[in-house]
């Protein structure tokens, strides 16, 4: 199954659809991601509405114990307009973790639907 998933990643190419993206976009890409080719991720750099940030990680899904995690949190906070003081407590853990309180969950819902 893992081999099939990796194979499918290699077959998906959305670069031709980038011009269809008309909303502010933040692309966070792990520099040594084995699933998404760096050349594909770099296509976002040329997309006029996208902000592209490369993270120092090998994982496709960044983990909160990695050195790049604080940079990830900072970039997301900046993109969604969260003040640094309010974000400090949340940035130490994943917002989708079981420790997310009701207020934080509501904020995430609002951001997701904006």
CA distance 79 to 100: 20
CA distance 47 to 94: 28
Q: How confident is the model at residue 75, as a pLDDT? A: 92
pLDDT tens-digit profile of 50-82?
788 889 998 888 888 899 999 999 999 999 887
pLDDT tens-digit profile of 93-106?
555 555 556 777 77
For residue 55, give the H/E element and its range. strand 50-55
Who wins on pLDDT, 5 or 94?
A: 5
Residue 79: how many other CB atoms lie within 10 Å: 15
Tokens, residue 1: 């199954």
pTM above 0.85, yes or no: no
CA 5 vs CA 40, 42, 61, 85, 114: distances in Å: 17, 22, 14, 40, 30
Q: What proportion of the chain, given as a percentage, has pLDDT over 70?
A: 68
Work out the pLDDT band at 18, boundaries 50, 70, 90.
confident
Q: How many CA atoms lie within 13 A of 106 on its CB side?
A: 3
Backbone dihedral angles phi then psi of residue 106, each to the nearest 5 degrees: -65, -40
């Amino acid at each position: 199954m893992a081999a099939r998933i990796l194979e499918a990643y290699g077959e998906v190419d959305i670069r031709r659809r980038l011009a269809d993206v008309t909303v502010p976009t933040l692309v966070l890409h792990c520099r040594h991601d084995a699933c998404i080719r760096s050349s594909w991720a770099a296509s976002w750099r040329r997309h006029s509405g996208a902000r592209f940030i490369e993270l120092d990680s090998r994982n496709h899904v960044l983990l909160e114990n990695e050195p790049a995690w604080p940079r990830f949190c900072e970039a997301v906070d900046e993109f969604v307009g969260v003040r640094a003081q309010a974000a400090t407590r949340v940035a130490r853990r994943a917002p989708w973790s079981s420790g997310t309180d009701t207020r934080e969950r509501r904020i995430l819902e609002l951001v997701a639907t904006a």
